[in-house]
Homo-oligomer: A and B are copies of this chain.
Amino acid sequence: MLANELTDLLQIDYPIIQAPMAGGISTTKLVSSVSNHGGLGMIGAGYLNPPQTREQIREVRQSTGNNFGVNLFVPTSFQRSDEKVRLANDLLGPIHDLLEIEKNEISSPTNESLVESFNAQVAVVIEEKVPTCSFTFGIPSIEIIDTLKKHNIIVIGTATTVKEAMEIEKAGMDMVVVQGSEAGGHRGTFINGYHESLVGLMSLIPQVVDNVKIPVIAAGGIMDGRGLMASLCLGAKGVQMGTAFLTCVESGAHEMHKDAILHSTEDQTVLTRAFSGKWARGIKNKFIADLQEHETSFPDFPIQNSLTKDIRKAASVQNNPEFMSLWSGQSLRLAKKQTVETLMKKMIDEAAKIMNNF
């Protein structure tokens, strides 16, 4: 009943994709559980190096016979400003002291190293014959897209506006994830500006659907069968869910991160650049509040991300959620601690119930 062209193309039972959450959240257990229960599990490989990417792909393959995918961050060229780095370090200093982090030199990535690593990851995806590969923060080269497609890998882009979705279709990608303003974690925006790309799904889905022919996958605030059915009504062919899977038993998110989501409300998230240099939605904590007035002056991604790495690591070890990146979408009151199996089963049952009621 929920089968459509998207489930056909991805060879999955239900049009439900687990959002590729980088930074240890999308564990092999989470990814394979989603695939084993009829959805599409996704490895969030944005912060993995090529060997780590290959390793997790092989682990997932051993844990599921079903299709799954890998998500890569398209390198966005950045400028290193020594002045911005100095200012950021001045602001982060007191937090280092508070968390008793030892001073150590941080090696920031370069534009060249990012591109090199990305190309090597793409090679791994091809060599390992991963069924699906999605991209965030931009569109890879036509060459890469064509090569992936030639190897029968389904290629998915991420858009936050109609314009971005149209470019993704034009580049030859097979599907597009549209990320509403409700979404947690990083904004995938790559053409439009930050403010103008904050479009709610009720507006974004139908406007994208009317302007592209490829299947549209809705992402942002979708947590249950209601969100799935609403997205389908608006013209999407499937949904991608992050927060709903993040609080699952199988996810690798820190327990304090899960707890923060389970005990917060829809009015407690904010958008911030303070953790990584790119705008992302998370629960407001002391780290965000302390740095809020400097939002526009932080260095670009991924420089700021490397500058805050020690802080996030120490906060994790010390179980201190005030300095973790507590990424979350806006539907916090709907989050539950449950297994992937329960989440998937409840979604399908609820969707069926809604359909029967009409």
Which A residues are within 8 Å of any B CB, using their own CB?
Answer: 1, 161-163, 180-182, 192, 195-204, 206-207, 210-211, 218, 220-224, 226-227, 229-231, 233-235, 265-268, 270, 329-331, 333-334, 354-355, 358
Contacts and interface: CB of A to CB of B under 8 A. Distances in A.
A198 B354 CA distance: 27
Copy tally for this chain in the complex stands at 2
**Most central of A195, A206, A223, A235 by chain B CB within 10 Å:** A206
Contacts of A203: 182, 220-221, 266, 329-331
A348 B203 CA distance: 19
A267 B211 CA distance: 14
A181 B210 contact: no
Contacts of A233: 226, 229-230, 233, 354
B266 A199 contact: yes
17 contacts: A162-B333, A180-B200, A182-B200, A192-B267, A196-B268, A199-B267, A199-B330, A200-B200, A202-B220, A202-B222, A203-B329, A203-B331, A207-B333, A227-B234, A233-B233, A233-B354, A358-B358
Closest 7 CB pairs of A and B: A200-B200, A203-B221, A203-B330, A182-B200, A230-B230, A229-B233, A196-B267
A329 B265 CA distance: 25
A280 to B, nearest CB: 15
A262 B155 CA distance: 34
A235 B355 CA distance: 13
B197 A163 contact: no
